[in-house]
Structure 1
């Protein structure tokens, strides 16, 4: 649970103690369940996501269907997933790129004064397509649009949250002029955030730890499509549980950034299978988790 979302082990435990799980009867009404969870306390998206994901996994097991099938996703349409490289020295970045051997796209964090240097460092060792997350780091829209054109020439496919999430006008100005799709990230967390974003961005980045799980993430995908917006499904620091939940929805999206299990040292489940940089979904019911701890999740 990332600190900036205001969650901790203590807050998650406190929230769980408020939940009356006997209310969750089958067949699960996920809209009612989410409304109930929201009524208990605002925020707490990660622990709400944990409940939603567990119930989605259980729903798949009861129906004897994989979650991707339940949500109408075609696993053959799985997009490649990116591997994230954080802001660091050129030497460390070159070393980190060695861990990305099985990936076909690199995601790079920008938003400081050395953005071009970071891209040039990556380009000195890799020609893979790039996703950029500017982390609200660009303040001058004129400089930002110049950088967008330069990044386009460097093979950048998309840019997440270039300007402050509250600067709707600035981000919309970039969206109207950028040769690269501009996506809302920090500016969108849940379904209710989306109406104000129409026309201000080319697309959105959905993360299950912000959307409170699979049900609302799917609703956000549908709404984005109705707005003519594109969708990146991303992740926080996550194990195979959450990343496979995201992967079940990924074929409904344009892009994926679900590298959590490869950046997590204490993943209690088997690392998902990749082929040609894409998740390979199995046909096991629910999330398709495997590993010696799988029974702990579903007990």
Structure 2
């Protein structure tokens, strides 16, 4: 890590010592006392810098391949404390270093002198310009991290979740030659469920290759690769015989009529990924899919992801929480919500070779949340 990188990440400072309550109740007693005495003042300070993630292997899905992912690393400083965030921007999101830089520069967080006004601050961020969901998520994550550090609590505790209820995480096997797929599966032996990318015409080859190596449960991500609902249903029946758990985004995200038909006849759950982005999308997907895959980079961060989980549950839909290729910053933030979901695909940090943070870990395939304030990360 370069000197500039270390300087940017910095230290999070000393933590406040008092026991705290939910941040949306405006913080804890010692913070309020310091406000009254004049010990706290000034607005939030946002800073950011571009970073390029290096993948360990070529990452191939139904529509493209890549070896890198651009991210924007953010931090919000207030009263000597620092919260860290991240915007990960794979190609299909339509964001880049340039767009994230432009959006983040347009924000004036100095007008907010109280980080506990989470809803007000994030509503302002969302209102500045449409889209830019990953850039918005980087602010949301940094603000959550900051608040958790001020409260001296990890977010899973602030939300009242039991860290023992974290699920297994899938480990992703991208589309490749049988030789490379075999090697990837062997490397993934510690994981108890694998997520297999298919949809490029070699679906059976991918699954058969993996089944020669392991009999662990699999889920598949088609990334909109199937075009005909009848052929898709035939494939799903075959996949069920191979021990597949669910099918993610089998068809075009705009084709809700065919998706509803497929879900109605499918022997496996169908999960929307590209087909769902934000809270407003969830109700229209009820009946078209069995569940949704929530990603912080799509939905603008932890605040909206939490709302999406609750809304999906009210509609009797399954919930998966996923990620892009991200550092441990983004993955650890998403992991704070994992104790209340059905499935998790939180391996993005495990697919890169230059992670600048240490956070959530995986033991025997299970997500292990660090009992650390905020989103639970520290710099390497």
Structure with the larger helix share: 1
Moved more, 202-211 or 22-31: 22-31
CA distance in 2, matches of 1:28, 1:171: 41
Q: Equivalents in 1 of 2:173, 2:270: separation in Å? A: 19
Higher RCO (CA 8 Å, separation ≥ 6 residues): 1
- Residue pair 1:262, 1:271 contacting (<8 A) in 2 also: no
Q: Deviations over 1:70-129 (max 9, x none)?
A: 122211110000110111111110111122122111100111221111100000101111
Picking from 309, 320, 331, the partner of 1:232 is 320
Q: Distance in 1 between matches of 2:135 and 2:187?
A: 30
Task: Return the offset for 1:271.
Answer: 5.8
Q: Given that residues 219 and 246 in structure 2 are in contact (C-alpha distance below 8 angstroms), is that contact kept between their aligned partners in structure 1?
A: yes
In structure 2, what is the Cα distance between the partners aligned to 1:36 and 1:79?
Answer: 34
Unaligned runs of 5+ in 1: 293-299
- The structure that has the greater radius of gyration is 2
Q: Which residue number in structure 1 is paired with residue 237 of structure 2?
A: 149
1:283, 1:254 → 2: CA distance? 22
Match of 1:66 in 2: 154
SS in 2 for 1:261: helix
CA contact (8 A) 2:360 2:376 kept: no
Check conservation: 1:102, 1:274, Cα contact below 8 A.
no
Q: Cα distance, 1:27 vs. partner?
A: 5.0
Give the structure 1 partner of residue 16 of structure 2.
Answer: none
Count of aligned positions? 292
Does structure 1 conserve the Cα–Cα contact (< 8 Å) formed by 2:336 and 2:375? yes
Aligned to 2:95: 7
- RMSD of aligned C-alpha atoms? 1.2
- Flag as ranges the 4+ runs of structure 1 deviating above 6 A: none
Which stretch shifts more, 65-74 or 11-20? 65-74
Query: What TM-score, normalized by structure 1, do the two folds share?
Result: 0.95
Partner of 2:335: 247
In the alignment, structure 1 residue 21 sits paired with structure 2 residue 81? no
Aligned partners of 1:208 and 1:235 also within 8 Å? yes
Aligned position for 2:248: 160
For residue 184 of structure 1, what is the aligned residue in structure 2? Answer: 272
1:104 lines up with 2:192 in the alignment: yes
Contact 2:359 2:370 in 1 (8 A): no
Native 8 Å contact 2:332 2:359 kept in 1:
no
**Alignment of structure 1 residues 48-59 onto 2, 5 Å:** 48-59=136-147
Deviation of 1:146 after TM superposition, in Å, equals 1.1
Contact 1:240/1:270 (<8 A) preserved: yes
Determine which of 140, 147, 154 is the counterpart of 2:228.
140
Distance 1:264 1:182 in 2: 28
SS in 2 for 1:194: helix
Give the TM-score taking structure 2 as reference length: 0.75
Which runs of 5 or more residues in structure 2 are unaligned?
1-88
More strand by share: 2
